[in-house]
Structure 1
Amino acid sequence: MKAYSLDLRQKIIDTYLEGGISQRQLAERFKVALSFVQKILKQYRETGSIAPKIRIQQTPPKLNEEQLNVLKKIVEANNDATLAEIRILLEQKTGVLIGRSTVDRMLNRMEFTVKKKHCTRMKRKLKEFSH
């Protein structure tokens, strides 16, 4: 989601500093969340800045290099497996349980695709993997 513009942020601060309006009323007037108004006011009080914060540190990946290699081998050996099946196999081999969407992101980073035909037999296979 994009950050709110500096213009909007400045209007919120100016209106609040004029006085006579609550944070809740500010949020309603400018059609923003109350939590945003609280956050921008706190940031202004603490730093004097209303600019959006820049994300410096990225969230570290869920899997390390060794686990990614295991994931790659699983996909190569089970190229017809679904994301849910891959997830279970990865847990069995590494002890690390991640979500299906995380499996998908990791495979996309490694430029693997796992397009599947929709079939009810896959549900039975999933039960086999989970035991």
Structure 2
Amino acid sequence: MPVSYSKDLRERVIMAWEAKEGSQRQLAQRFKVSLSFVRNLLRQYRTNGQIEAKRRGGYQKPTIKNEHLGLIQSLVEGKNDLLLRELCDRYAEHTGISVSITTMHRVLEKLGLGCKKKVFTPASKTPQEYKS
């Protein structure tokens, strides 16, 4: 997994740039970083004076809280042939929180509830043989 460059390296690049120790390309070669890193760092420094790395993605709070799992379970037990979209709509009516179909599907899997409908298929008819 990629890691952000250290604050120390960022500071050295900025100090070298301010001391006019070379072009952006030369600084990139000197510090063994990409030219785009130097350009983006300088742009960020000029714009807001910050040289810290931007935040990376991380933990996201779950949309459906644990206290609402019982509600979902009761909705499914009340009418177990609901489509995922219908279940999302009913959840939104009760809680005021709209969730995606994918989120609802993951919660159902977590609860161990199946959402697959059983399809009735009649036995295949075989053609009648004509008696002679």
Scaled by the length of structure 2, what TM-score is found? 0.48
Q: Which has the larger share of helix? A: 1
Task: Find the structure with the greater CA-based Rg.
Answer: 2
Scaled by the length of structure 1, what TM-score is found? 0.49
